[in-house]
Structure 1
Amino acid sequence: SGMTGGSESVTRINENIAAVAEELGIAMGVGSQRAALLDASLRGSFKVVKEHSPPLVLANIGAPQLVKQNDGVVFGAEEAIDAMEMVGAHLIAVHLNFLQEMVQPEGDRKTDGVWEALKGLSQEVPVVAKETGAGVSRKAAIMLKEAGVKGIDVGGLSGTTFSAVEYYRALQASDSLKAALARTFWDWGIPTPVSLLRASVGLPLIATGGLRDGLDVARALSLGAALGGFARGVLKDAVESKEALMVRLQTIIEELKVALALQGIKRARDARERPGILLGQTAEIAKEMERRGL
């Protein structure tokens, strides 16, 4: 799942991920390419991905940058194509990090016209809409489908919360207002399992947000996901070495195989034949959202 890039210090991380993804035959996504699109000197941390051949690569830009913000920069089809060519991508993830932008000190907070811009972009390049910790509701999923995206990464409230990240950044910047905002919205969003159910509108779903192991992938598949993604869960290994990342991902794959075998499932694509069961507060949230059509 999209994690990092845009800094020469993280070139090795993307290289490790790309090399292991190629060897294992799994997909990979890069982090936001905004910095590299604006500063050519930072492209190396992304271009290293092209030295390998993962079967599926996702480029990455932000939805807020599809409309004019205070810096005057607007990303359109030209920039999206540039981002894809930079990493040899098959698809481009457009991340919907509106919560993060709203609470960060230098955030891009203008949203008018984003949906129309996304719709226009989706006619030019294959787009996957990617949430970044707040999840996707039924209404949002329908709007994204109408915009023409090829898939949805639900990015639910179960993993990294960028509101928390911005809370600590605001503290470092002595911005008490933004720190208070970020703290208030620390737990804002829809849990990943619920989002998988609510975002099921006929598009392929990618489950990210809190997945820790292969059993979590199996759970996500049973709730309708086509793919499961990891960011923080494998970042430490990606930083350490290719070998450490290889062991981590091989373990996840074996865990998934065992989880499927124990259910009598031969292929991952058939996991939805054993629908997952939600319990406790997660089940209550799912039930209430369904009742209200959210």
Structure 2
Amino acid sequence: MISDRKLEHLLLCKNCDVEYRKKTGLGDVELIHKALPEVNMKEIDLSIDLLGKKLDSPFIISAITGGHPSATVINRTLARTAKILNIGMGVGSQRAAIKHPELTSTYTVVREEAPDAFLIGNIGCQQIELAQKSIEMIDADALAVHLNPLQEAIQPEGDVDARGHIESITEMTSTLETPIIAKETGAGIKAEDAITLEKAGVSAIDVAGSGGTSWAAVETYRAQDRTMGDAFWDWGIPTAASTVEVCQSVKIPVISSGGIRSGLDAAKAIALGADAVGIALPLLKDAYSGHEEVVNRINKFNEELRVAMFLVGASNIAELKKSDLIIKGETREWLNERGFQTSIYARRSVE
């Protein structure tokens, strides 16, 4: 049953090692220090406008859960955080509640708890018939259409017929008034796919690169034969590389997620071109201790982001996106081999 699988996913993410062994690539990104920042750190503005909604900082609680009674308290806690801090929040796939209406409250709790928050619904990329119901269920400001071929390939009961996804997404964007966010689930998005998604009409892209939660790892724990999941545990495009590929290829907003673990990580992702960043696993673990823990973590992220912005002389997020940085190591090698010029980031401030 879907609900049982949702509970398994929650418990595995909470209690097991499900993160990529390889890193995000953000360690290869170095923001260039500015000895004369000429800004007041206390006056730095972290706010952003995303799909028509103003948020007090660029952090989004990425899609985590729903679809099992135990998810209700988690979503309530996360939604309370989103309300307090005026940040965005996504829910997990809503198919479970549409197939089993008795689970609806595990999702609707987020709008009840955070009536004015920027909330993102969630369905699979071929589930056109569920789109409007998912939006209405939580009065969503946007709908994430998740792309998860890696998880489906490793999941014992996975759906591995991936034909018609672009046609499905195009139909959703042309028939729904709510903005559609194309969201990977941890394996990243390459430039060519980002261009295709933009042409299909999506309003934003969440790269969800490799380096954070590995859904191949999660499904490995559920499988009787773990050899396949172990072999593909680290499959994907590292978050830093995926962020550059997508940001240099499309003109729509980009969310960078996948292993963002600090405000400094967020600063690097935004300097690479992202408009916002998403965080999931650390907040899920904090949520079991209550919303104060989640609020404290996001506040710490905000302070780390503010310090990083001060040290590069950025008074707001738009200026951070123009700051100088160096891309080194495997990330530079990846991007150069893929035809992306990494040197363009080094002296943007003098242009």
Distance 2:287 2:181 in 1: 24
**CA gap 1:45/1:138 in 2 versus in 1, 3 angstroms:** same
Measured after TM superposition, the shift of residue 10 of structure 1 is 1.3
Whether contact under 8 Å (1:198, 1:290) holds in the other structure is no
Q: Choose the corresponding residue for 1:98, options 146, 149, 166.
A: 149
**1:168 deviation in Å?**
1.1
Give per-residue Cα distances to partners, 1:177-200, cap 9 Å, x unaligned: xx3222221111111111011112
Deviation at 1:24, TM superposition (A): 0.7
2:173 is the counterpart of 1:112: no
State the shift of 1:153 in Å.
Answer: 0.2
> 2:75·2:107 contact (CA, 8 Å) conserved in 1?
yes
- Match 2:201 to one of 148, 166, 175: 148
Q: Is the 8 A contact 1:196 1:223 kept in 2?
A: yes
Instruction: In structure 2, give the amino acid aligned to 1:153.
Output: D
Residues 93-242 of structure 1: pairs in structure 2 closer than 5 A: 93-125=144-176, 126-170=179-223, 174=224, 176=225, 179-200=226-247, 201-242=250-291
Check the 8 A contact 1:155/1:208 in 2, yes or no: yes
Q: Percent identity?
A: 43
Q: What TM-score comes out, normalization by structure 1 length?
A: 0.90
Match of 2:331? 282
CA distance in 2, matches of 1:4, 1:133: 15
Alpha-carbon displacement from aligned partner over 1:103-145 (angstroms, at most 9, x marks no partner): 1110011111111011111112321000111111110001101
Between structures 1 and 2, the one with greater helix share: 1
Say which SS state the counterpart of residue 71 (structure 2) adopts: helix
For the 8 Å contact 1:211–1:217, the answer to whether it is kept is yes
Give how far 1:211 is off.
Answer: 0.2
- 1:7 corresponding residue in structure 2: 68
2:302 aligned to which of 232, 253, 256: 253
Amino acid in the other structure paired with 2:123: I
Q: Which residue number in structure 1 is paired with residue 139 of structure 2?
A: 88
CA distance in 2, matches of 1:155, 1:254: 23
Distance in 1 (alpha carbons) for counterparts of 2:326 and 2:118: 30
Task: Give unpaired runs (5+ residues) of structure 2.
Answer: 1-61, 342-351
Distance in 2 between the 1:222 and 1:131 partners? 21
- Is 2:82 the counterpart of 1:21? yes
More moved, 272-281 vs 149-158: 272-281
Measured in 1, the distance between the counterparts of 2:103 and 2:150 equals 26
Q: Give the CA RMSD over aligned residues.
A: 1.4
2:110 pairs with 1:49: yes
Superimposed CA distance per residue, residues 2-40 of structure 1 (whole angstroms, 9 cap, x where no aligned partner) = 011111101111111111111111111111111111100
Displacement of 1:152 after TM fit? 0.4
8 A contact 1:260–1:271 mirrored in 2 = yes
Contact kept, 8 Å, 2:143 with 2:180, in 1: the verdict is yes
> For 1:190-220, what per-residue CA distance to the aligned partner results, in whole angstroms no more than 9, with x for missing partners?
1111101111211110011000011111111
Give me the TM-score of the superposition, normalised by structure 2.
0.76
Higher relative contact order (CA 8 A, sep 6+): 2
Instruction: Flag as ranges the 4+ runs of structure 1 deviating above 6 A.
Output: none
Residue in structure 2 matched with residue 71 of structure 1 by the alignment:
none
How far off its partner does 1:291 sit?
A: 6.3
